[in-house]
């Protein structure tokens, strides 16, 4: 399979524009896809969500899925863990077909692929420690001491050491997200699916979560799929970015090519978001952007 950025659909760009600039992100090029959606169709009743969804994710990369509300971003993540079933097409993970698998046959996959749900979804009746221990109890047989040790490590990793005894209701929104991330990485998954990880957070907590997504990728070698509305976050965490529109993935591009794309759907998304959100983070403070008058310049951000 080619490693060039893929495009599907027919972008309505004018002839003098270069809609898809094919530069490359800094990750392994020649590896077979780790996660692949091929020709996936999904409808809920009369409503067709995807008619021909194709996306390929490489091992070790962080790929962000962008798209308008209700276009099917969350459903894409849920397809991967079998919470939603495709009508047809192929969904492959590490060379294995997932489409059509029984619940039982999906269990080993659910240990390797973990999802951070939109809103965090902590169990309010359990303590923080019990929340983080939950997937460990589900997938492993560990002694209480081993469990406590693992929970301690994961909470330290998200910057919240020693809060095992607290209840989710006692936490701020940013802390809840970080505990949810600690729970998502508890069983050492190979893939993390983040659904809107920064929604509702202030800029400082947003930055903290974005840095955490990057450090989890770097230090734990986790492959990540991130769904977000937040362009600044997308530019900070992504190696590549995919645009979901018109019931398919319209384009998959490296972060820089996405930023420069003149595909109308992508351009509008990038620029509408850039003008309404807080100043973008370090990814936009590049010399090429300093030279562009149409890109908002970040304030007080040093590289």
Q: Please, are residues 60 and 217 in contact by the beta-carbon 8 Å criterion?
A: yes
Q: Does 74 bind ligand ATP (CB under 6 A)?
A: yes
Q: Note the Cα 38 to chain centre separation in Å.
A: 19
Backbone torsion region of residue 94, taken as left when φ is above 0, otherwise alpha when ψ lies between -120 and 50, otherwise beta: left
Q: Does 198 bind Mg ion (CB under 5 A)?
A: no
Residues 20-59, mask of contacts with Mg ion (x by CB under 5 A): ----------------------------------------
Q: Name the binder of 75 from Mg ion, ligand ATP, none, CB < 5-8 A by kind.
A: ligand ATP
Secondary structure class of 166 (helix, strand, coil) = coil
- Taking the C-alpha atoms of residue 25 and residue 170, their distance in angstroms, rounded to an integer, is 40
Q: Does 119 bind ligand ATP (CB under 6 A)?
A: no
Residues 77-106, mask of contacts with ligand ATP (x by CB under 6 A): ------------------------------
Residue closer to ligand ATP by CB (options 211, 246) is: 246
**In the chain, where does DSSP find H-type helix?**
73-80, 103-112, 128-139, 144-157, 173-185, 203-220, 231-237, 255-260, 264-276, 287-290
Residue closer to Mg ion by CB (options 7, 114) is: 114
Nearest to 83 by CA among 64, 67, 106: 106
Minimum Å gap between C-beta 82 and ligand ATP is 13
Residues 68-87 within binding reach of Mg ion (CB under 5 A): 74
Dig out the tokens for 140 from the structure. Answer: 């492993």
Which residues form the interface with Mg ion (CB under 5 A)? 74
| Chain residues in the site for ligand ATP (CB under 6 A) | 44, 49, 67, 69-75, 118
């Amino acid at each position: 399979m080619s490693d060039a950025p893929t495009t599907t659909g027919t972008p309505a760009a004018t002839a003098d524009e270069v809609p898809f600039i094919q530069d490359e992100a800094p990750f392994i090029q020649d590896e077979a896809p780790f996660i692949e959606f091929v020709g996936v169709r999904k409808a809920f009743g009369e409503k067709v969500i995807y008619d021909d969804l194709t996306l390929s994710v490489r091992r070790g990369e962080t790929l962000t899925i962008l798209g308008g509300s209700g276009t099917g971003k969350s459903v894409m993540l849920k397809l991967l863990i079998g919470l939603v079933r495709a009508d047809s097409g192929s969904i492959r993970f590490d060379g294995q077909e997932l489409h059509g698998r029984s619940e039982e046959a999906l269990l080993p996959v659910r240990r390797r692929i973990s999802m951070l749900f939109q809103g965090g979804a902590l169990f309010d009746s359990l303590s923080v420690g019990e929340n983080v221990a939950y997937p460990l109890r589900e997938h492993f047989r560990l002694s209480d001491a081993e469990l406590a040790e693992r929970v301690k490590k994961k909470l330290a990793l998200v910057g919240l050491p020693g809060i095992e005894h607290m209840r989710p209701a006692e936490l701020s929104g940013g802390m809840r997200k970080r505990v949810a991330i600690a729970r998502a990485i508890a069983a050492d998954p190979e893939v993390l699916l983040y659904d809107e990880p920064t929604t509702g957070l202030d800029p400082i907590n947003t930055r903290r979560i974005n840095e955490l997504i990057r450090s989890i990728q770097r230090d734990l070698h986790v492959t990540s799929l991130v769904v977000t509305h937040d362009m600044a976050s997308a530019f900070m965490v992504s190696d590549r970015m995919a645009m979901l529109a018109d019931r398919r993935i319209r384009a998959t591009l490296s972060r820089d090519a996405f930023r420069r794309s003149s595909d109308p759907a992508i351009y509008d998304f990038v620029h509408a978001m850039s003008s309404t959100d807080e100043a973008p983070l370090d990814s936009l403070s590049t010399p090429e952007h300093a030279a562009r008058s149409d890109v908002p310049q970040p304030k007080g951000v040093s590289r």
